[in-house]
């Protein structure tokens, strides 16, 4: 699969090219600014690829900056996981790791300058009262009764807020802009709020914390960000971003540009909903392989190259759209088909005994690791007279177009011999428990010297040498294309989206499988060793069928 190549003619690149040609900037500096209050999801991956991608393309660099302004929801666990996820995707911020908390003192100083200019005031309204005074989309807001406090009183109150002199939530520092503005974000937005919570980096030093809207643009200015790229929901925040830059003496004047966020069918990328999935126990954690988090996709075995390939196929535009999940699946399959080595495993074991096999004999078969890539070498797998096959590969009374095993039917055992079903054994409940076959010793490698053809090829594992493991079979977590369409997406969860299969039979080579290097279980799909379990276990990364690719070909 080729290295990531994002579209070269989107509006973001057009803006950058124009800025560079006019000399507005000498170099491109972007940033990826996550809030460390959760794990990253695939929507963040789009932003990561765009910000790091355009910086590299135009010879600049991208900062990783944590907008850590709300200690009540932020944890070191999230900070560490974000670093790991960005690195896993293949991006390196080098020396450009920053935190909004690095700038707390400067941000506080600028807040005092707004007070001195009469552009900010301390407000005693409660959160509920502020919502009431704010007005609606059709009605203007009302001025706070504290809006006209003197500069001296505001400075004194703000400094006492910093010193911890007031209860949490009792006061805020608000910008004095326009309570009648048609843009709700300009109706005297909060710049600081009181929070008596320890911060992961600054501890208990601060009793007040800047809001995201206040800290974000000023952090961009401090770092000299040239192009502040964010998703469309922040478009209405841009006038506040610009107002603050205009009224503060900042070292640079960054510009904000918005692009469409990633929306996928059959999933939800709302951080609030993802948090509920975890906290309410609907999934096993942030790394649940059904989750759209980068951590969940990593555990499932999705290669970073496949994720970047998928994102590279997306348009960078200003129009919201929803992408079919099958498009992501196609990128995953395409990469794994090219790179994943092949192995044999049996999920639903049924015993097959070869009646005429020499007693106690084991034959070591040398087989390719990948049918189309001889450079990946070969391996040896044991073959004996006692095998496991898939239960679905046998039918007692098969229909005409069933080309696998049935009474009197002959099939090819993958890499081995042709075998013919002579008999079968049932238990007391009528379930078939064993197939009795004979093999043709002249068909080593699966080819008949007399030229006879068989249509069925089935995989197998030697029962004498098989190892056992647990396998997690996952499917889409939500049943509907748009899980939120009916209201609460939690109600759309598919209760059958995770199946645990015990005592799966594997060829011995799989004992040394490594997490992060998925393999194809022949005829079954692609599977990754589960890094979250100490015992041998595998997760299905994705099945073999690719309906999306066929649809695109027909279209």
Reply yes or no on whether 35 is catalytic. yes
Encoded tokens for 504? 């799966």
Report which of 36, 39, 335, 8 is spatially closest to residue 201, judged by C-alpha positions: 36
Query: In sequence order, what are the residues at sequence separation of 6 or more whose Cβ sits closer than 8 angstroms to the Cβ of residue 444?
Result: 416, 417
Between strands 461-462 and 457-458, the pairing is unpaired
Q: Is 396 a catalytic residue?
A: no
Picking from 33, 194, 209, the residue whose alpha carbon sits closest to that of residue 104 is 209
Run of H or E including 435: strand 432-439
Alpha-carbon gap, residue 14 to 17, rounded angstroms: 5
Give SS3 for 94: coil
Residue of 31, 35, 290, 409 marked catalytic: 35
Strands 255-259 and 418-426: unpaired
Give the up-direction half-sphere exposure of residue 328: CA atoms within 13 A in the CB hemisphere. Answer: 24
Selection from 317, 340, 354 nearest residue 232 by Cα: 317
Choose, from 83, 142, 261, 351, the residue flagged as catalytic: 261
502 is catalytic: no
Catalytic residue among 271, 313, 379, 479: 271
d(CA 231, CA 63): 17
CB 349 within 8 A of CB 431: no
Tokens of 256: 């904000």
Exposure string over 301-311, b if 16+ CB within 10 A, otherwise e: bbbbbbbbbbb
Angle between helices 212-223 and 238-247 (to 10 degrees): 60
Strands 172-175 and 120-123: antiparallel
Pairwise CA distance, residues 387 & 408, whole Å:
18
DSSP per-residue letters across 34-70: --SSS--BHHHHHHHHHHHHHHHHTT-EEEEEE----
The bridge status of strand 227-231 relative to strand 255-259 is parallel
110-to-99, 117, 551 alpha-carbon distances in Å: 17, 11, 56
Q: Which two tokens stand for residue 36?
A: 């460390």
Rounded distance between C-alpha atoms, residue 543 and residue 416, angstroms: 25
In a 3-state reduction of DSSP, which class is residue 379? strand
**DSSP letter at 289?**
T
Residues 88, 100: Cα–Cα separation, whole Å = 23
Give the residue numbers annotated as catalytic, written as ranges. Answer: 35, 261, 271
């Amino acid at each position: 699969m080729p290295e990531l190549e994002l579209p070269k003619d989107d509006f973001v690149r057009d803006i950058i090219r124009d800025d560079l040609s006019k000399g507005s900037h000498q170099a491109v500096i972007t940033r990826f600014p996550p809030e460390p209050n959760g794990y990253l999801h695939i929507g963040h991956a789009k932003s990561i690829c765009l910000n790091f991608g355009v910086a590299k393309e135009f010879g600049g660099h991208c900062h990783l900056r944590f907008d850590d302004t709300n200690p009540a929801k932020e944890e070191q666990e999230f900070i560490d996981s974000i670093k790991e996820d960005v690195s896993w995707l293949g991006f390196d911020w080098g020396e450009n790791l920053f935190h909004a908390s690095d700038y707390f003192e400067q941000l506080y100083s600028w807040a005092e300058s707004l007070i001195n200019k009469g552009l900010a005031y301390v407000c005693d309204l409660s959160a509920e009262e502020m919502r009431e005074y704010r007005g609606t989309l059709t009605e203007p807001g009302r001025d706070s009764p504290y809006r006209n406090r003197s500069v001296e009183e505001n400075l004194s109150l703000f400094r006492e807020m910093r010193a911890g002199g007031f209860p949490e939530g009792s006061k805020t520092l608000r910008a004095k802009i326009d309570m009648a503005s048609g843009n709700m974000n300009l109706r005297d937005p909060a710049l600081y709020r009181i929070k008596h919570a320890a911060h992961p980096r600054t501890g208990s030093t601060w009793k007040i914390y800047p809001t995201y809207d206040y800290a974000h643009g000023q952090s961009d200015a401090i770092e000299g960000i040239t192009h502040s790229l964010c998703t469309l929901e922040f478009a209405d925040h841009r006038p506040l971003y610009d107002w603050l830059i205009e009224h503060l003496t900042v070292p640079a004047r960054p510009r904000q540009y918005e692009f469409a966020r990633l929306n996928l069918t059959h999933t939800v990328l709302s951080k609030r909903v993802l948090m509920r999935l975890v906290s309410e126990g609907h999934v096993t954690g942030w790394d649940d392989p059904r989750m759209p988090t980068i951590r969940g996709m990593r555990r499932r075995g999705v290669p970073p190259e496949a994720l970047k390939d998928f994102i590279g196929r997306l348009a960078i535009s200003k129009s919201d759209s929803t992408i079919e999940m099958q498009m992501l699946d196609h990128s995953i399959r395409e990469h794994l088909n090219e790179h994943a080595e092949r192995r044999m495993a049996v999920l639903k074991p049924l015993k097959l005994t070869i009646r005429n096999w020499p007693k106690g004999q084991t034959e070591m078969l040398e087989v390719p690791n990948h049918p189309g890539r001889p450079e990946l070498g070969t391996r040896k797998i044991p073959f004996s007279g006692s095998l496991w096959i898939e239960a679905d590969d046998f039918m007692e009374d098969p229909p005409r177009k069933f080309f696998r095993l049935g009474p009197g039917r002959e099939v090819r055992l993958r890499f081995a011999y042709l075998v013919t079903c002579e008999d079968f054994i049932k238990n007391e409940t009528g379930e078939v428990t064993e197939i009795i076959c004979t093999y043709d010793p002249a068909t080593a490698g699966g080819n008949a010297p007399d030229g006879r053809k068989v249509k069925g090829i089935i995989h197998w594992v030697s029962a004498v040498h098989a190892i056992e493991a647990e396998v997690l079979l996952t499917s889409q977590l939500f049943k509907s294309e748009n899980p939120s369409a009916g209201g609460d997406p939690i109600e759309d969860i598919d209760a059958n989206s995770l199946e645990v299969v015990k005592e799966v039979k594997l060829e011995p080579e799989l004992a040394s499988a490594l997490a992060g290097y998925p393999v194809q279980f022949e005829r079954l799909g692609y599977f990754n060793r589960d890094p979250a379990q100490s015992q041998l276990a595998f997760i299905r990364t994705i099945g073999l069928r690719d309906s999306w690719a066929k649809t695109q070909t027909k279209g």
